[in-house]
Each structure stands twice: as structure tokens, then as C-alpha cells.
Structure 1
Amino acid sequence: METRIIAAEDENMKEAVAAASELLAQGEVVAVPTETVYGLGADATNAAAVAKIFEIKERPAFDPLIVHIASVKDLDQVATVPDDIDKVFQKLISAFWPGPLTIVLPKVASIPDLVTSGLDTVAVRQSGNRVFRGIGRGFGKPIAAPSANRFGRISPTSATAVMKELGGRIPLIIDGGACRDGLESTIIRIEPGEKRPILHLLRPGPVTKKELQNFGRVVVERKRLIDEQPDVPGQLASHYAPRTPLYLFDKPADFRPEKGKRYGLMSHKGDPKAGYVGAHDWAVVESLSPGSGKLPEAAVRLFHVLRTLDEAGLDAIVAEPVTDTGLGQAIMDRLRRAAVNR
């Protein structure tokens, strides 16, 4: 199969939206940009189309998908909002939609069981990416769209990365440029509480725990069992991983290099004072946020840096940890699940 790329620039936005919408209507899959990572989209109401996502990604059928809506008014095509959480739900979507927050809700009958892996709940969000939302409006139906990569691999944040992952497997990639956030969306489940609503943080992401605490009591779910069916997308223990083995060490002294092997370092900001840069004669050093160590920049560059090191012909990659707070919590979540020594 030949994979076309259409750049969704202002002068040909209509062409990109029309091409993607037409293929989606035909039950095909299309790689589309979001503000988080590139997604592999299909008609969320068409089980046969959704099955192609699992086949192309080589994704296990027990791992559910996120469904995207173009507008809040389309929510009833996907899910219902129980009365006892409606008030906090409205506050959350007013603050974070469109944007990188996914909310788990009871699904409606028109969403196939394949989308939710047989669960009676569905993970839903409204993307803030104008290209994705344009395609959603043009298509007119909800779109199921996990990350546009082979299962368990590094999530793509550019059209080029999608082509490397899925070229020849899909008919079309819509190039919307680099992703703004670079990390998959935050996922939560809402539960009514006696005094305040309870927000179960199922996957950390660009919307942080601190931000969510303005709307309820946040409970961080730590379950990461690979032999257990996940109740939302992105919970499997091994995920976001390069082909090259990646090791995550709490301190530089924990690293014990083997003679004759080529190691690359993924540094936080390339600061020798942290102890990692000078711990070994690295074949390659890549920094997430050179010099400044800013977490938003580190999040945007995470998958790009992982992919760069993965393509450098190394025997192993060593990752320097970042602070495990705020946006750093989401970065560390991805690193822990990419690491072979988690």
C-alpha cells in the first residue's frame, strides 16, 4: 500500500480535511495530528474500521481506545454523563476542553464493544488541534484514535515519525506539523464524593495533578499489571518503548556499563552537575531540555529524543530521571514503562 502525506497548511486545509473525511467514511484509517501525539483514526461507530486500527498497530484487542469528538454537542454520540458527576464534569470540560484531558464515562450502545474492549465505559476527549477538529467536523462522527505507531513503541509527534512506523500500512497521513504537548492526554475517571468529587488519575499527562486538584480530590492510580486487562487506554506495564533497551537509574552510581557496548544518554538538561553526563564516555548524549531543564520542553521532546537515540545504533540507552512532580510525573510514567529495568 502506498502511503500519501498531505500537509494541512492554510492553503490546502480543505483538501486535507476532505481527503481524510472521505477515507474515514469508507471505513479506512488515517493518521491525524493532535496536540498530544499523532493518532491513528477510524470511525468509532464502525467495528470493521476500528478492527483495522488493532490490525495495523498490532495492538491487543483487550486494550481499549480513546474516542474523540469535534464538539461537546457530539458527546451524546459516545457517552452519557451520570447526574451525580455532571456538575464537576461541566467544570472540567469548561477548563480543559478542547485539550489534552480524557474522561472515562458510561458508553452508549452505538459505540462497538471492540472500541472499549468489552467495557461498559469509554474514554473520550475533545482535541484542541484545529486540524483534527476540522477533520472531525468534516467527517461528522466520533473518531477512535490511539497513537499512530506500532503497539508498545514510541509515540509519534511528527508526520515523519508516523511514516517510519506505519508507512505502507495506511493510505494517508495528515501532516499538521509537530505536536504541541508531545505527551499523551491525561486520563481521569470521576466519582462522586461526600465533600468533594473524587478524580481518579488513571494516566498522567499534560493536565497535571495540581491543576486537577482545583476540581476535586485527586487519587493517583498506580496499577500497572501487564497480565490484567486495563480499564482505560495506556495502562499496560510495557509501553512507549524503543527497540533499543532503555534503562532508568535513580542515581548515576547505579549504572554499571558492560565492556565493549555503546551506550547513549538521555539527559534531562545536559548538566554535568547532575552526575550522569560525566558518568561514562557516552557514544551519544541527547538532552530533553538543553540548559534550562524546563519540563514543558522536556515533554515535547521526549518521544523525539527517544526515537533519535533508538536510531543511533546503540546497545542500550540510559535515561536520567526528571523531577517526579507536575508535568514531570507524566514524563517519568512514560520512562518507567519504556524501561526494561522498571
Structure 2
Amino acid sequence: MSISVSVVLLSGRTANVDALPTSLVHEVQEEAQFQLGVGLRCLISDSGEVLPPLASLHSLGVADGETLTAHTRGASLAATGAAFALLRSDGRVVTWGDSDRGGDSSNVREKLFAVHSLTATAFGAFAALKTDGSVVTWGNPGYGGSSDSVRARLTGVQQITASAGAFAALRADRSVVTWGHKCFGGDSRAVRGQLKDVEQIWSTACRCLAMHCAAFAALRRDGTVVTWGCAAYGGDSQAVQSQLRNVQQIEATVGAFAAQREDGSVITWGHRAFGGDSGSVQHLLKDVRQVRATLGAFAGLCADGSVVSWGLEMISGNDLPLDVLQNVKDREGLFKGG
């Protein structure tokens, strides 16, 4: 038995969609998008919850006659090192640039509709995540443009992360699928059994063509971290694995990772030239509230207002006067009360 759902834009325009209780959210979204003639980014329930595109109406408690609010999607650009891709507001994709580095998408053009987001590797490949959780790839085949070897597993994808030469897809079941060049993290078979209950994925050398390898780091729900890819650039975290507990956030330079833990400490690994070795400043990394990264250095903001930096000295700020890096007070009181 079908149900009727109204999808309303903020302007007041409405699409009436007939669906089954077992219909998925993205199917309702695509039909509403067709009726309204505009690209839709997401559907929101009357309680203000963003509805997961791969969930069924029944599982979310969407009943007959219910009204959902739709947020429209604007156009966006993505780029490899030599080509561009435009995600239009209607969910279709236009590409141009070096034909061998992602500028020619003619072989997959008929699949490039209902696209939710685009991700690119610096070495010439694009990955399009569609609203139904499937993935379409094109461009340099050795650096992520070909996903044939993992195509059967690229279902229910929610997020895609890129290094300079590989992709990592996070699925709805919190598992991870990787493809691309093995030196850039495209081969995760050695840790596949550990890639469960993953919350988020980061990579080194994300946009850097000068790097010859890269790595990924996955943060799991229990606060532990799994790494793979180039060992020297963050793919090997064995030296600090026992300390990678209760991790809340990870930042990455082109060659190293920094993990911020619940107790305010920071754990680093990867290439020492790019911030992988924080030994000289560990005694200062206490009660850290925020960590940020440049291409080659990290900076941590502590609760007392001081700033600690490490990595490439030319960009880490280690040559700044101490009175600049100390007493950076939190005038808005953001750190008060935890």
C-alpha cells in the first residue's frame, strides 16, 4: 500500500510523491527533484532531523500525509591536478581539462546523474558519490580512476576521502573500501578486518603532486585508530598504537598525522619533517583544545591560551617571538566550562 509524502521547499513550492513504506529516502528525493526541477541536497523531517538517504520511510517513521522540508543544492567544483569537474545543481556533472587526468568523462556520462558529491585525487581521478550510495569513477586508472576491482563493494557509500592517488569510501555499515595506487593507500587489505565501526577518515598528501606516497587514518567509534598506506608518511602507527585510545579528532599534513585525545594530549606519527615527531614539544602539549595543520606543520591551541607548533620550521611558527605564541587569550570564553 502506497503512501503520499509532500516535499516542500522553503519558498513554499511543493511536490507530492507517492511511495511505498519500503521506499528509500533518496528515491523520494529524486522524484521530488524531478517534479520541482531543482537539485535537492537533503530532506528534513518535521522534527528537524536530516533523513539518511539510504534509510526506508518505514524505518524512519514517515507516515502517509507527512510533510518533509527540502534543502536545495547549489553547484560546486572539484579538481584534480589537471582537470575540473562541475557538479551542477541538478545533480549532473560536466568535466574539462586534461582528458587523461579526469577531463574526459564521456565513458561514464550516462551514469553521472543524481550525484551528491565529487571527490578528486591530485594525480588525475574523480569519484562521484550518488544519492543511492553508489560510486562512479573516471580519470587516471592507476590513481583511482578505475574502481573495477571493488565495484561490487561500492554500495551504501556515505562519504569518500582522497589522498593524492587513492580513494577510501566509508559505507553505511561503517566499513571501508579503498582503491587506487597502493603507495597512496589504495590497498587496505592488510587492515580490512580492523576497518569496522569507522566514524571518519583522513589522509596525508591529499592535494600535493610533489609527494610520491601517502596514507590514510580511520577513527573508529571506540576512539581507536587504524592506519594504512605508505608507512613513512603515516601508514604505520605501530610505534604509538598503544597511545591511540580515546581519540576525538585527527589532523594531517602532507606526511604525518596528529591525533587529539579526550584528555587533551596529542599523539603524532609519520614523517618527522612534516610534524610526525612532536617529542621536542610534548611537555607543552597539555590540555590541548584544538589542533590544525598546514602542508608541513601542526599547531595546537591549549586551554591556557598558549600555542604550540611543530613540523617544518619555515611554516610552523617556531621562529615567532614567544610573546606572540603565549597568552593567546580566549576572549569569547569558548574554553570556559570545558
Instruction: Give the TM-score normalised by the residue count of structure 1.
Output: 0.25
Higher-helix-fraction structure = 1
Higher-strand-fraction structure = 2
Higher-Rg structure is: 2
